[in-house]
Amino acid sequence: MEKLFSIPLLPMDYEKYGALKTRRVLSQMKGLYLDQEAVEKQLAIEDPVIYEVYELPHPNDETDLLANITVLYPGKIGDEFYMTKGHFHLEPDTAEAVIGIAGSGEMLVQNREGVLKSLAVLPGYISYAGGGWGHRVVNTGTEQLVFFAVSGANIIHDYDTAAKLNFKPVMKGEESPHEQGQRAEGAIK
């Protein structure tokens, strides 16, 4: 494959360019929500799509980049906003950068010692999580949250560590790490 491509971020017709679409529904991630009663109540009605990931075509080679666009739907399970599963990168534990395209949300980042911070996911923002920071994106708005994420092409997603740390889900009406002054904004530390 030629290691060259150029794709418009909008409109969201990435499949036309060979992107692989993966759909994540609530039943595939139900253990991650704190309010299990709300999960069961929702599943008894329907199993909603929480997010879709479009993986742009890339060679799975250590010299390349994994470039994904995620569409995270607005909504809540009980008081907890819709969110991605969240993961760490196993070796090579490389960084990930997220660029907001539409909507509003947060990237919660947590290291293996459990320190939790939050980065903005908004149009015009780039948020960078260095190696060692597990990450989960939460849609705190009322529109679709669309973001572009890029990391090393040969990363291995580690969902188990993230599930054990159980990134704190962000709840409506509750102070997020943003408001608690833990927002890692601006300076590169």
Choose the stretch contacting ligand M6P; rule: CB under 6 A; options: 82-90, 112-120, 125-133, 163-171.
82-90
Q: 22 has which bridge partners?
A: 53
Q: What are the backbone dihedrals phi and psi of residue 34, each rounded to the nearest 5 degrees, phi first? A: -75, -35
Kindly tell me which of 126 and 179 has the beta carbon lying closer to ligand M6P: 126
> Minimal CA–CA distance to 29: which of 87, 101, 79?
87
Q: Which does 53 bind (CB under 5 to 8 A by kind): Zn ion, ligand M6P, none?
A: ligand M6P
86-145 binders of Zn ion (CB under 5 A): 96
Q: Which does 183 bind (CB under 5 to 8 A by kind): ligand M6P, Zn ion, none?
A: none
**For ligand M6P, which residue of 87, 133, 140, 178 counts as binding (CB under 6 A)?**
87
Sites of contact with Zn ion (CB under 5 A):
96
